[in-house]
Amino acid sequence: MPEEYRWSAPQVPGPSTNVAQAYARFARDYRDGTHFCNMTPAEWDHVIEVNLNGAFYISRAALPHMVEQGYGRIINISSVIGETGNIGQANYAAAKSGLFGLTMSLALESAGKGITVNCVAPGFVETEMVAAVPEEILTRIVEQIPLRRLGRPDEVARVVAFLADPASSYITGQIFSINGGLNM
């Protein structure tokens, strides 16, 4: 494992005292807008490294601690783009859909050990990244969302908190789409 990905488990109060009960990956550092035929291997690799490999390294570091204590929650943060794809975002879509396979595989491997692994796939949410989208494009995006609005960060956080709760112990290997009905 590269040195920059080494991670030591933090102390967290509650049922999971040695590792974080849940972690979220909001990867704001992605490069998009490059059509696949024009995408360089470096552009591809950067987005995969941040959005998919980062999840691998964090999970790989945390899971042994969770197994040892017989409890844990892993919550991957994907994107509606992982479910639908998007022009100019083949690298991002591949990384985010890769989180679905990682989530389901880890859920199967850790089932019966007190560990759940789930994934949240937000749609277009009021964030700095979405705020940078030109207004005319954002208007067209919102018109395609059945609820006719952007999501709020607290709406995504509520699902993550629900999945992180010890009472959510029978939910594993699932992908939760939070997108105002955009992808149904």
Q: Please identify every residue annotated as catalytic.
A: 92
Beta strand 72-77 with 175-178 is unpaired
Q: Quick one: 86 exposed, middle or buried, by C-beta within 10 A (0-12, 13-18, 19+)?
A: middle
Helix 54-69 vs helix 90-110: crossing angle, to nearest 10: 10
Cα-Cα end-to-end distance for the chain: 38
- Residue 145 near residue 123, CB atoms below 8 Å: yes
Distance of CA 158 to the CA centre of its chain: 14
Gap between the Cα atoms of 133 and 48, Å rounded: 22
The string of DSSP codes covering 41-69 is HHHHHHHHIIIIIHHHHHHHHHHHHHHHH
